[in-house]
Structure 1
């Protein structure tokens, strides 16, 4: 079966656009001894949550606390057992790296309960707590390897 001319033109335009596109990759925080030193035991990670409910603190929140807040805020209007489980897991994450690994579950829950566009929007706020790097565009040989699958 051969492709129709309009489909072939459309596909080639889409493939050419994909070759020149740039994207950002969200990366986990580096796994180093410094990070392990920053990781806090579960007993200490519970204390700020309890203290925050009892007495508001004037001290600035740590990067981990800020990331936890944004992570949980992304689920603010969602309900259910899976949401509650993820909220607890995020609240007790001992490091930013552990929280980074929960992002896909957060995205899935938001997309399921609301929609994909809202999941993208809310995850962008969470992703600002993690390092990023620019990904280069595909090379011409990569483009031909991918496009030959459909021709």
Structure 2
């Protein structure tokens, strides 16, 4: 499985939607995205729960200040490297499973455009 970078949001298909409906929908999406981001941050930091050091503390702080799942996705490599350094590669693989569930995944080379866009509004 390949864990993919979350897509950027796409413009709405129906431009004739009343502005108040669009705003209400956007508020609902913002809450959903905020909740998803908070859960992803918790899992991200839980992967480092028993690790210590300046690099670990720095990564915890940066993860806490991420403003999107897309931004958090970019920190995954560093998380993996730090866990593998402090423990081992097998433990890094195991600890990233709960983190990776927050991001789109696909079998290598098999994602379709519609699958890719289905998740795009969640990853601002």
Residue number among 91, 94, 99 corresponding to 2:67 in the alignment: 94
The total of aligned residue pairs comes to: 91
**Taking structure 1 as the reference length, what is the TM-score of the superposition?**
0.56
RMSD: 2.2
SS of residue matched to 2:83? helix
Q: CA deviation at 1:114?
A: 0.3
Q: CA deviation at 1:33?
A: 5.4
Structure of greater Rg: 1
SS of residue matched to 2:107? strand
Aligned equivalents of 2:85, 2:105: Cα separation in 1: 26
**Taking structure 2 as the reference length, what is the TM-score of the superposition?**
0.68
Aligned to 1:30: 7
Aligned equivalents of 2:38, 2:5: Cα separation in 1: 16
Residue number among 132, 138, 149 corresponding to 2:105 in the alignment: 132
Q: Name whichever of 25-34 and 67-76 sits farther off.
A: 25-34
Aligned to 2:41: 68
SS of residue matched to 1:125? helix
Using CA pairs under 8 Å that are at least 6 residues apart, name the structure with larger relative contact order, 1 or 2. 2
Q: CA deviation at 1:132?
A: 0.5
The unaligned stretches of length 5 or more in structure 1 are 1-23, 40-60, 138-151
